[in-house]
Chains A and B, each alone.
Chain A
Amino acid sequence: MTKRSVSIHVPALTRVEGEGSLRLRIEHGEIQELALDIFEPPRYFEKFLEGRRHHEVLDTVARICGICPIAYQMSAAQAIEQAFGLDPGPWVRDMRRVFYCGEWLQSHALHVHLLAAPDFLGFDSVVGMAARHPEVVRRGLRLQGLGNALIRLLGGRSVHPVGACVGGFFRAPDAAEVDDMLEQLRAALPDAHDLVLWAAALKLPQDEQAFTCVALRHDTDYPFEQGRIVSDDGLSVPIEQYEDHFIEEHRPHSTALFSLLHGAPYLVGPLARLNLNHDRLPAASLSLLRQTGMTFPSNNMFHSLLARTLEIHVAIVEAIRLLENYRRPVSPQVEVTPRAGIGCGATEAPRGLLWHRYELDDQGIVRAARIVPPTSQNQARIEADLRRSLRQFGLNRPDDKLRLRAETVIRNYDPCISCATHFLKIGVTRR
């Protein structure tokens, strides 16, 4: 074993959303220190939600994340409706799924092509990759654009959409808009199909490891906005019991809190969803998955990329199914009558389970709020993965290779923090 002492500091991770860095110190062939530092400045959303009326919450929480505002809006709407004892009915449920399909499409296509793929094809950024693989990049940008168009159908704009409200939507699209959207969705199916096969053929690192998956699970459907919280080690609880099983810890190097399930790290996101719900895939997506020859559940974390591409296919298939049965309702929203109470909401953001809890008074004013985003749930898992992946990769490899592998491992989780990679100032000390 080498005697060298290595210290790698990636001050700003690139191709991730938000601000994070990596500290790694290796001495005498052992990892002495490893930390994914999240220094995204806190903005205190949970505090300034207090005193706001229920109808301001969706426009507020959207601003937590520009890449997955719909996830925040949907978890919040569900929680507030639960507190008010309100059921918005099947039309709203279907359209929320369609809305969510748009976000998965947009976010997954962005991550696969602009953030992750350059790692596996050997480029620094999508710009370099576009020169050598123009068709792959163009296909990805088309799918991302389609996701944005689907969001606009119900939300008006793709970042911080304005269409959703507690009780439903402000506006129902007319039949002509839906037909036009359906045409675009159907035309994109071959792109999604080819994308999955392309991802399955990519040379991804083989890195099997044990981890616990957590996701929503619904009686019949692939989970977007409904279901119980389940894990692959036997947990199955209604969303209201989240706090009985999961706790958040605050560690010194992070402005994000670390979530633990029964005291241990766990995974949320596309791979966890697919591992726990592959029997809930729409028939067309399941048959496509079979065509790849890949089987799930998988314990290779790098299969997250494949799961993400398959979920792009799921989103298109699901949006087509729901929009084919589209009927314009008399009203796109049900009437909302505030009452004092507590409500929980949990939906599957592109990056995984997003849990909200609100306490409201009889005027519908928020008195307390709690929000647990996917990335804080994955943070402990990412660190655990880094420790073993780097050991498996070989701690005596050159610094730049170690750094790239570490960044690739981190990006594979699509962490929603903020960025940094290839030009990291790295400090290397050898003894």
Chain B
Amino acid sequence: MGKPSIAVHKFSSCDGCQLAFLNAGEELLNLAELVDIKHFLEAGVADEYAHVDIAFVEGSISTTDELTRIQRVRACSRYVVTLGACATAGGLQALRNLDGSNTEWKHAIYAHPGFIHTLDQAEPVSAHIKVDFELWGCPVNGRQVLAAVQQLLFGVAPLEQRDKVCMECKRQHASCVMVTAGRPCLGPVTRTGCGALCPRFGRDCYACFGPAGNANTAALSRRLEGLGLTPADVARRFLFINNHAPSFNEAGKKHYRQGFSDD
């Protein structure tokens, strides 16, 4: 039996999650010994539809061409793993879904909008194909990615971390920025994985790892209003990096008016 094979695919994204591999240093070379990297354009390997054991997908699905590509990726991969906020929840660019702004924004930016072939919605990969495992984060954490590779190669389902950032703050002995400084922290509803970075830097979490399990967004929304946030501010908090994730989308839309207006 040959080495297990992997592929890394890019869709609508910033390339930052692929860096989990390209920034891994020696571990990248070690990984290349353990697995056969069949497709990874930025690393210089291209065989887009080679059959692989694990396909990592970065980016959301936002063009007609990407719709076709993602179906083919599914067809030639044993496991499909999404890599980060765009692939898992649509990413920042899914903000165009809020008011159906695709056409308007295209015309505002491009002199010849007819050349731009975007879909009206930017959506997570799971809106179009079956996904076996999702890695959250904007960006994903490199350790999580390499751990997931190892676990999948051993035939074990990767352990999903659904704890809240608050739990991580306690483990790290970080003082609570909401309690001590009145900051509108999203830690109580956000999944950990970052290591409670923002609170440790004295700032409020902005939910780049997406919703935690059993996120009580209604209670947090009331607390945010109690801290003096306007309804539009509350909407801005939830409708950000992971705006298309269902629990954040629902919580944000309760306070949202077109263009984040307060009127």
Shortest Cβ gap from A118 to chain B (Å): 6
Residue pair B240, A51 in contact (C-beta under 8 Å): no
Residues of B within 8 A of A12 (CB): 41, 46, 48
Q: How many Å from the CB of A347 to the closest CB on chain B?
A: 18
| A-chain residues with CB within 8 Å of residue B200 when the two chains form the complex | 156, 171
The size bracket of the interface on A is: 35 or more
Whether B41 pairs with A418 at a CB distance below 8 angstroms is: yes
Q: How far is the CB of A359 from chain B (nearest CB, A)?
A: 14
Contacts of A212 in B (CB 8 A): none
Residue A120 interfacial (CB < 8 Å):
no
* B154 at interface by CB-CB < 8 Å: no
Does A66 reach chain B (CB closer than 8 Å)? yes
Residues of B within 8 A of A108 (CB): none
In the complex, residue of chain A having the shortest beta-carbon distance to the beta carbon of B92: A63
Assess whether B206 is in contact with A42, with CB atoms less than 8 Å apart: no
Interfacial residues of chain B within 158-216, with CB under 8 A of chain A in the complex: 194, 197-198, 200-203, 206, 208
Q: Is the CB of A47 within 8 A of B108?
A: yes
Segment at the interface with B among A138-146, A236-244, A322-330, A379-387: A138-146
When C-beta atoms are compared, the residue in chain B nearest to A43 turns out to be B93
- In the assembled complex, which residues on chain A have CB atoms less than 8 Å from the CB atom of B96? 44, 47-48
Q: Which residues does chain A contribute within 8 Å of B223, judged by CB atoms?
A: none
Whether B44 pairs with A118 at a CB distance below 8 angstroms is yes
B18 to chain A: which residues have CB within 8 Å? 66
1/0 per position for A90-133, CB-CB distance to B under 8 A? 00000000000000001000100011001000001111001000
Q: How far is the CA of A16 from the CA of B10 in the complex (A)?
A: 12
Interface pair A159/B46, CB less than 8 Å apart? no
B115 x A252 contact (CB < 8 A): yes
Given the known interface contacts A53-B236, A56-B236, A141-B25, the answer about A15 and B44 at a Cβ–Cβ threshold of 8 Å is: yes
- Pick the interface stretch among A175-183, A278-286, A392-400, A419-427: A419-427
From known contacts A41-B62, A65-B14, infer whether A170 and B45 are also in contact, taking CB-CB under 8 Å. no
B29 in contact (CB, < 8 A): yes
Chain B proximity of A373: nearest CB distance (Å) = 12
Contact of A269 with B by CB under 8 A? no
User: Quick one: CB contact mask for B1-39 with A, threshold 8 Å, 1 for yes?
Assistant: 000000000111111111100110110110010000100
Of the four ranges (under 10, 10 to 19, 20 to 34, 35 or more), the interface on chain B belongs to 35 or more
A59 at the interface (CB under 8 A from B): yes
Residues A423 and B261 in contact, CB atoms below 8 Å apart: no
A34→B4 CA distance, assembly (Å): 39
Q: B66 contacts the other chain (Cβ, under 8 Å)?
A: yes
Q: Is the CB of B25 within 8 A of A144?
A: yes
CB-based contact B203/A170 at 8 Å: yes
Asked whether B156 is an interface residue with its Cβ less than 8 Å from the other chain, the reply is: no
Instruction: Map CB proximity to B onto A44-66 as digits: 1 under 8 Å, 0 otherwise.
Output: 11111011110010011001111
B138 close to A423 (CB less than 8 A): no
Question: Is A297's CB within 8 Å of the partner chain B?
Answer: no
**Which secondary structure dominates chain A's binding surface?**
loop
**Cβ of A130: which chain B residues have Cβ within 8 Å of it?**
29, 32
**Complex contact A420–B46 (CB within 8 A):** yes
Inter-chain contact A15/B43, CB cutoff 8 Å: yes
Q: Are A159 and B26 touching (Cβ within 8 A)?
A: no
* Inter-subunit contact A14/B46 (CB<8 Å): yes
| Residues of chain A with a CB closer than 8 A to B261's CB | 51
Complex interface: chain B residues within 8 A of A156 (CB): 197-198, 200-201
Q: Report whether A127 and B32 are in contact in the complex, using a CB–CB cutoff of 8 Å.
A: yes
Q: In the complex, what residues of B have CB within 8 A of residue A85's CB?
A: none
**Which single member of A44, A127, A145, A419 contacts B25 (CB below 8 Å)?**
A145
Q: Are B42 and A419 in contact (CB under 8 A)?
A: yes
Give CA–CA (A419, B13) in the complex, Å.
Answer: 13
B window 95-121: CB within 8 A of A: 95-96, 101-102, 104-106, 108-112, 115-116, 118
Q: Which of B28, B104, B112 has the most CB of A within 10 A?
A: B28
**Per a CB cutoff under 8 Å, which of A47, A52, A159 touches B105?**
A47
Query: Is A162 an interface position by the 8 A CB rule?
Result: yes
Give chain B residues whose Cβ lies under 8 Å from the Cβ of A44.
93, 96, 101-102, 105-106, 109
> When chains A and B are docked, how far (Å) is the Cα of A45 from the Cα of B92?
9
Name which of B14, B41, B101, B106 has the most chain A CB atoms within 10 A of its CB: B14
Could you tell me if A43 and B66 are in contact, using CB atoms closer than 8 angstroms? Answer: no
CB A72 to nearest CB in B, in angstroms, measures 10
| Residues from chain B with Cβ under 8 Å of A356 in the complex | none
Q: Which of B104, B109, B201 contacts A170 (CB 8 A)?
A: B201
Verify if B91 is at the interface (C-beta below 8 Å from A): yes
Q: Is the CB of B15 within 8 A of A14?
A: no
Contacts A19-B10, A118-B44, A126-B43; A63 near B197 (Cβ below 8 A): no
Tell me if A160 counts as interface (CB < 8 A to partner B): yes
Q: In whole angstroms, how far apart are the Cα atoms of A70 and B56 in the complex?
A: 26
Decide if B19 touches A43 in the complex (CB within 8 Å): no
Q: Does A7 contact B (CB under 8 A)?
A: no
Q: At the interface, yes or no: B124 with Cβ under 8 Å from chain A?
A: no
A423 to B104, CA, bound (A): 38
Measured in the bound complex, the distance between the Cα atoms of B194 and A162 in whole Å is 11
| Contact of B259 with A by CB under 8 A | yes
B144 within 8 A of partner (CB): no
- From A15, A19, A42, A114, B116 is in contact (CB under 8 Å) with A42
Are A141 and B26 within 8 A (Cβ)?
Answer: yes
Q: Which of A42, A138, A249 is in CB contact (< 8 Å) with B106? A: A42
Closest Cβ of chain B to A136, distance in Å, is 13
Enumerate 20 A-B pairs (CB-CB under 8 Å) in ascending A order: A14-B42, A17-B15, A19-B10, A41-B11, A41-B66, A41-B118, A42-B106, A47-B96, A48-B92, A53-B236, A56-B240, A59-B241, A66-B14, A66-B15, A114-B43, A118-B44, A141-B26, A156-B200, A170-B202, A171-B202
4 further interface pairs, Cβ-Cβ under 8 Å (given A44-B109, A46-B109): A52-B260, A67-B16, A250-B112, A419-B10
